[in-house]
Each structure stands twice: as structure tokens, then as C-alpha cells.
Amino acid sequence: MKKQQNIIHNMIPVFVILAVLLIWELISVTGLVPKYMLPTPLQVGKAFVTDFPLLMSHAKVTLTETVIGLMSGIVLGFVAAALMDAFVPVRKGLYPLLVISQTVPTVAIAPLLILWFSYGMAPKIVLVILASFFPIAVGLLDGFQSVDEDMIRLMRAMKANRWQIFWHVKFPYALGEFFSGLKIAVSYSVVGAVVSEWLGGFYGLGVYMTRVKKSYDYDKMFAVIFLVSAISLLMILTVKIIQYQSMPWQHCKDEIQIERKRG
Amino acid sequence: MILEAEHISKRYAEKQVLQDITVRLEQGELVCLLGMSGVGKTTLFNVLSGLTRPDSGTVRLKGEEITGTTGHLSYMLQKDMLLPHKTVLDNVALPLLLNGTKKKAAREQAAGYFSQFGLEGTQTKYPAQLSGGMRQRAALLRTYLCGDEVALLDEPFSALDALTRADVQEWYLHVMETIRLSTLFITHDIDEAILLSDRIYIMSGSPAVIAAEITIDEAKPRGNDFMLSDAFVRYKRRIKELLL
């Protein structure tokens, strides 16, 4: 009974998406909006298939930029958070700077980065680093600081040194916050890479977007938009899987709750 | 004499919390510090463990002064303080690991105590999967494995419900029979103090002083019979008079 209900609940978003696609198809087919401005979902699908090899070669570049930038962002964010956690003056000095830096829109600095680092991958990677660094650093720092003061005292009483306290207590406590930050960072990163490609470059989905825009290929525009969002979704899903794998104590807790509810 | 705290005084801002407190603990003895909530038991606990420096007085472990320095005594709190991300075995083995024991050896050594502490079958579980009573058992084993000669227990069972508490107390007496850990036990529960201890220090007043010292002359392990006996009631009446 309950299982059936769950399946129905899980199907709701699928139905909604199908309904939206159907309405869209109807709007285009009936001519409510001219077809050349709003291609039908089927046309978009066709464009995706015919352009698939080209899309993939561009996606490879965008994905490379995103992943390299994200990895660097994680490393830098981790180092910054650990330093801010360990040294109060560093936290006092750096934290406000980090918050202020977030008021500068990434789109605004992208042209500057291109001037500085030319048209290759470098400016895109730097932009992804800038976009992903903040949520990761702040997430980790919040996690490090959320550890119960008594826990630290107990660790000291057990003669743990700073590094041991970090490794056995602070880091695992911060994992949850880290992954929440990482999920935000992933979506920022993909968008950041694409936007910086708009502004100059030779390869990448952003470059492809500006090209098809110039030739008024609306169907290809839609195809690439869907591809970008699919890439974001897949990356977030990957993060979720890694989170699930690396925090086994989290779902063991869920299992107990389920058992208790049943009991 | 394994632990001696002499003439301990401590004041916070305007408030004198502890006034000339002297407590002693013999090798293998279980001594309770009994007092109402807020009397300053935990302040004394912090002084003994070295987390707080007293204004005057000294703490000595086996004759050596340890006043205001941490890391000499193991301690355990009302909160079990088990790490949620480690299995019970890894939690318990943590003090060994921190001392530089290799992971495998630490696990093996810790696992050897599981049956003695009534923790069989919990090795690979996470703390969240255990009941409150079992978590306190694991916390006590971890405290024991810290390897210090004196353990400070700050109301370790007071967060448990009454039935679980009775169960854990019985278990505790049983375990203590075999491991003989010199223990200073803080509690506000009169029954618990009488049931568990060799001696009781009664803390009362503001600032807190040691109002009395009572020796519980009763063979261990003590069970339900003792708790229902006249002797038990006499102890309880005397302590109540002293506390109020």
C-alpha cells in the first residue's frame, strides 16, 4: 500500500514535466508562437541528435574547465577554511573580505579575466575557482566551528594534538556542510564556465551558444541549454552519491528512524 | 592516596563558588561527590581535571602536583560524547589511537573488553544505533581505555530514564568489581551515591564546602536488597539532613 503510494508520489514530477513538454509542443504546433522563435520539443530533440558529436566536443572543454576549477576551488576553500578555523586573526581578516567579494557578480569580472589570461581555458578556470571557492570555504568553516566545545575538551583530555582533533573530530563534523556547499559550488561552476565562454574563446558550450545565437538557430539554442542543465544535474547527482558513500553513519541513522516509525 | 585536592578555592567575578575544599581518593576506591544542582560540583570537576585553575589550593596525583594542567585524569560526562561518524569500536579505541597505537592493534585491544563491558555485538554499529544506556557503557569503556589511573565521572547516568539508569548502575557496579578503577563520581542523586560509593563527600552551601564525609560500610556488589534495607534508609535520612 505504502510502496504504491511512494511510487505515485515519485511519478508526480515526471508527469508534470511531460505535461509542460506537451503544452509547449501544442503552443508551437498551433502557431500561437511562430515556430522559428519557439521550436517544438521534437525539433529541439532532433537538433540535439544531429549536432551531438559537435555538442560533445564542446561539452568536453566546458566540463574540463569546470572540473579543474572546481577541484582547485575545493583545495583552496579547504585550506582557507582550515586556516580561518585555526587562527582567529586570519578569520577576522579574511572572512569580511570573502563576503564582500561575493557582491561582485562573476559576469562582471569575466571580461577582465579574459584580458588578463587570454582566450584559452585559463580565464574560465579562474572564474570557476572564484565562483566555487566561497560556498566551499564558508561551508567548511561553519562545519569546523559547529563542533561541541566539550568534545574538543574531551579530546584534549585524551591527549589529542591539534592535528588529531582536526582529523578525528572537526573534519568529519564538517563533511555535511561541505557537501551542501559543494552542491551550490557545482551549479555556480557550470554557469560560471559557460558565461565566461560567451565572452571570448574558441571552444566550449558557451562559445557554441553564441555561434548558434548569431545564426538564429533556436532549436540548437534550446538543445545546448538543456545540455548545460543536464551537466549541472549530473554533477550534483555525482556529489550526492559521493556524499552518501562517504558518510555511512548518516543513512544508518535514517534506517533507525524508519525502523522506529514502523515499530 | 592516589588523588588529593587540598584547600581548593575558586571565585568567579563576584561569586565565591568553592571554599577551602579538600577531597581525597584512595587507590581502587569509588568516591561520590554529592550535592544539589548548581552547588559547584562541576567547577570542582573542572579544577580536578585541570581545565580550570583554582584561586588557591593544589591538586596532586600520586604526590605529584598537577594543578591547572590537563591530560592526567580521564573523564566522562552526562553527554556520552561519542563521535557520530565512528563505529562504536573505533570510538572506544580512539584514546589508544591518539596515544600512537596502530589502528589494528588499537581495535584489537579495545575489542577485547567488549564482552566484559556488556557491549557484545555493537562493534560495527554507529552510536546513533545504540540506546542511551549502551552509549554510556561505550563511553565508560573509552574512559577506561584512556589508561589514566583516576577517572572523573560527572553525572554520567543522570540523562538516562529511571529504569535504564538502574540497569546501568547495576552493570557499573559489576564492571567496577573487575576493573577496580579509582573513580571520583559526581552526582546529585542520593540513591545513586549510596548504592555505588565507598565514601561520599557531601557538598553544600554557597560558597560550597565539604559539609560531611560518609563511609558506606556495605559489601559490594550491592543489589536491590541493599536498596530496600533499613541500613540504606538510615544512610539516606542522614544525607538528606546534611544536604538541607
Residue B216 above 90 pLDDT? Answer: no
> Which of A159, A179, A244, A246 to mutate to test binding with chain B, by most B CBs within 10 Å of its CB?
A159
Burial group, residue A141, by CB count within 10 angstroms (0-12, 13-18, 19+)? buried
Query: Is A172 within 8 Å of B83 when comparing Cβ atoms?
Result: yes
Chain A residue with minimal CA distance to B48?
Answer: A157
Q: Are residues A17 and A135 in the same domain?
A: no
C-alpha to C-alpha distance for A226 and A221, rounded to whole angstroms: 9
A38-95 residue pLDDT tens: 888 888 999 999 999 999 999 999 999 999 999 999 999 999 999 999 999 999 999 9
Q: Are residues A83 and A32 in the same domain?
A: no
In the predicted model, what is the mean pLDDT of residues A7-22? 88
B217-227 residue pLDDT tens: 888 778 778 88
Query: Above pLDDT 90, what percent of chain A?
Result: 57
Q: Are residues A10 and A68 in the same domain?
A: no
pLDDT at A85: 93
C-alpha to C-alpha distance for B119 and B131, rounded to whole angstroms: 11
Q: Are residues A213 and A160 in the same domain?
A: yes
C-alpha to C-alpha distance for B209 and B215, rounded to whole angstroms: 18
Q: Which residues of B touch A167 (CB under 8 A)?
A: none
* N residues, chain A: 263
DSSP string, B30-58: EEEEE--TTSSHHHHHHHHHTSS--SEEE
pLDDT at A28: 84
C-alpha to C-alpha distance for B109 and A147, rounded to whole angstroms: 28
pLDDT at B244: 73
Q: How confident is the model at residue A145 (pLDDT cuts 50, 70, 90)?
A: very high
pLDDT at A238: 95
Chain A residue with minimal CA distance to B151?
Answer: A157
Specify the domain boundaries for CATH 3.40.50.300 within chain B. Answer: 3-73+150-243
C-alpha to C-alpha distance for B170 and B190, rounded to whole angstroms: 16
In the predicted model, what is the mean pLDDT of residues B207-212? 84
Domain of residue A236, residue span: 39-262
Mean pLDDT of chain A: 89
Torsion-angle region of residue B84: left (phi > 0), alpha (psi -120 to 50) or beta? alpha
Residue A36 above 80 pLDDT? Answer: no
DSSP string, B195-216: HH-SEEEEEETTTBEEEEEEE-
Residue A2 above 70 pLDDT? Answer: no
Q: Are residues A30 and A44 in the same domain?
A: no
Q: Are residues A21 and A60 in the same domain?
A: no
ipTM: 0.82
Nearest to A252 among B74, B81, B128 (CB): B128
User: Of all helices (H) and strands (E), which one includes residue B8?
Assistant: strand B3-12
> Which of B49, B66, B78, B85 to mutate to test binding with chain A, by most A CBs within 10 Å of its CB?
B85
C-alpha to C-alpha distance for A120 and A191, rounded to whole angstroms: 17
Which residue is it, cell 554510556? B136
DSSP string, A100-121: HHTTS-HHHHHHHHHHHH-SSS
Q: What angle do CA B43, B44, B47 make, to 5 degrees?
A: 90
Q: Are A60 and A145 in contact (CB under 8 A)?
A: no
pLDDT at B166: 86
Q: How confident is the model at residue B207 (pLDDT cuts 50, 70, 90)?
A: confident
Q: How confident is the model at residue A263 (pLDDT cuts 50, 70, 90)?
A: very low
Task: Report domain B3-73+150-243's class.
Answer: alpha beta
pLDDT at A208: 94
SS3 state at A237: helix
Q: Are residues A188 and A225 in the same domain?
A: yes
Which letter does DSSP use for residue A180 in this model? H
In the predicted model, what is the mean pLDDT of residues A143-148? 92
B159-196 residue pLDDT tens: 888 888 888 888 888 888 888 889 999 998 999 899 88
Burial group, residue A11, by CB count within 10 angstroms (0-12, 13-18, 19+)? exposed
With an 8 Å Cβ cutoff, the interface of chain A facing chain B consists of: 148, 150-151, 153-160, 164, 168-169, 172-173, 175, 247-249, 252-253, 256
Query: Is B98 within 8 Å of A164 when comparing Cβ atoms?
Result: yes
Q: Which of A27-36, A229-238, B44-53, B169-178 has the highest mean pLDDT?
A: A229-238
C-alpha cell, A250: 548518516
Residue B43 above 70 pLDDT? Answer: yes
Q: Are A138 and A98 in contact (CB under 8 A)?
A: yes
A157-189 residue pLDDT tens: 888 889 999 999 999 999 999 999 999 999 999
Q: Are residues A236 and A255 in the same domain?
A: yes
pLDDT at A256: 58
Q: Is-cis flag, bond preceding A13, omega within 30?
A: no
Query: Is B85 within 8 Å of A249 when comparing Cβ atoms?
Result: yes
In the predicted model, what is the mean pLDDT of residues A130-158? 90
C-alpha to C-alpha distance for A151 and A156, rounded to whole angstroms: 9
C-alpha to C-alpha distance for B230 and B214, rounded to whole angstroms: 17
Torsion, Cα A194 A195 A198 A201, to 10 degrees, reads -60
Mean pLDDT of chain B: 88
C-alpha cell, A22: 506537451
Query: Is B129 within 8 Å of A154 when comparing Cβ atoms?
Result: no
- Residue ranges of alpha helices (H) inside B69-183 are 88-98, 103-111, 132-145, 162-179
Q: Report the gap between the CA of A243 and the closest CA in chain B (Å).
A: 13
Q: Which of A2-6, A143-147, B156-160 has the lowest mean pLDDT?
A: A2-6
Nearest to B168 by CA among B187, B149, B182: B187
Number of domains present in the structure of chain A: 2
Query: Above pLDDT 70, what percent of chain A?
Result: 95
pLDDT at B170: 86
> Which of B98, B122, B131 to mutate to test binding with chain A, by most A CBs within 10 Å of its CB?
B98
- B1: number of Cβ within 10 Å: 12
